[in-house]
């Protein structure tokens, strides 16, 4: 759960409130109901959904989800898996009472191990989750991103942090330049696939 958790927090803190839940959804669906981890992820997902609905002026949706998210998180300790849930519950209380607050100030950051976690703080496995989430959110073809992640893991296993590792991390942090970075990433993937195809079968009899 650690990499998806950190990825979702960083995506949320980057202002991608709708996309953040995608990082948590897979691990959440894999959990049994009524466990602390299930309540934790369910509450975070509903928290980001409440913010998304408030930002689209669906006031009733925002207040209902804020109440539901608070119910899920209410039995957990103030800090759970490094996340400051006390601050989340305060934000939910404010949002539930006045969802239009979202128009007056930005949603509060999620704090992980005492500080807001940003996209640039992610280690590779969490960055890989964030790359998938952001590619889906902005409609990029997922195959080049998946191939880049695969090639990056090969680099890391070989003791390198070079071309594809950098490309994935840059795609995650690029923001306004993400389309340009995606094109470069896709070109690198195409070239690497062609290199593999060129040598495939050369040494077979």
Residue 205 has pLDDT above 80, yes or no: no
Confidence at residue 105, expressed as pLDDT on a 0 to 100 scale: 87
Residue 52 has pLDDT above 70, yes or no: yes
Assess contact for 9 and 117: CB atoms under 8 A: yes
Residue 126 within a domain: no
55 vs 159, residue with greater confidence: 55
> Tell me, what's the pLDDT at 78?
96
64 & 150 share domain: no
Mean pLDDT of 103-128: 94
User: Which range marks the domain in which residue 12 is found?
Assistant: 2-120
**Model confidence pLDDT, tens digit, residues 162-173:** 889 999 999 999
103 and 43 housed in the same domain: yes
Report the pLDDT averaged over residues 56-78.
94
The answer to whether residues 145 and 187 belong to one domain is: yes
- 100 and 179 assigned to the same domain: no
Assess whether 92 and 150 both reside in one domain. no
Q: Is residue 131 part of a domain?
A: no
Residue 168 domain flag: yes
Domain annotation covers residue 205: no
Q: Compute the average pLDDT of residues 75-85.
A: 96
pTM: 0.90
Pair 106, 36 in one domain: yes
């Amino acid at each position: 759960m650690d990499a998806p958790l950190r990825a979702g927090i960083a995506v949320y803190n980057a202002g991608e409130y709708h996309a953040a839940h995608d990082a948590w959804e897979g691990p959440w669906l894999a959990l049994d109901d009524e466990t602390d981890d299930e309540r934790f992820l369910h509450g975070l997902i509903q928290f980001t959904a409440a913010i998304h609905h408030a930002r689209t002026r669906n006031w009733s949706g925002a207040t209902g989800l804020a109440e539901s998210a608070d119910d899920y998180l209410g039995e957990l300790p103030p800090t759970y898996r490094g996340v400051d849930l006390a601050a989340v519950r305060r934000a939910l209380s404010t949002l539930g009472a006045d969802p239009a607050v979202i128009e007056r100030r930005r949603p509060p950051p999620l704090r992980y191990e005492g500080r807001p976690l940003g996209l640039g703080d992610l280690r590779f496995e969490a960055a890989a989750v964030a790359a998938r989430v952001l590619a889906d959110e902005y409609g990029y073809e997922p195959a080049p991103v998946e191939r880049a992640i695969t090639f990056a893991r090969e680099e890391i296993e070989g003791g390198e942090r070079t071309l594809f590792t950098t490309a994935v991390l840059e795609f995650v942090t690029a923001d306004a330049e993400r389309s340009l970075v995606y094109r470069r990433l896709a070109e690198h993937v195409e070239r690497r696939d062609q290199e593999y195809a060129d040598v495939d079968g050369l040494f077979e009899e």
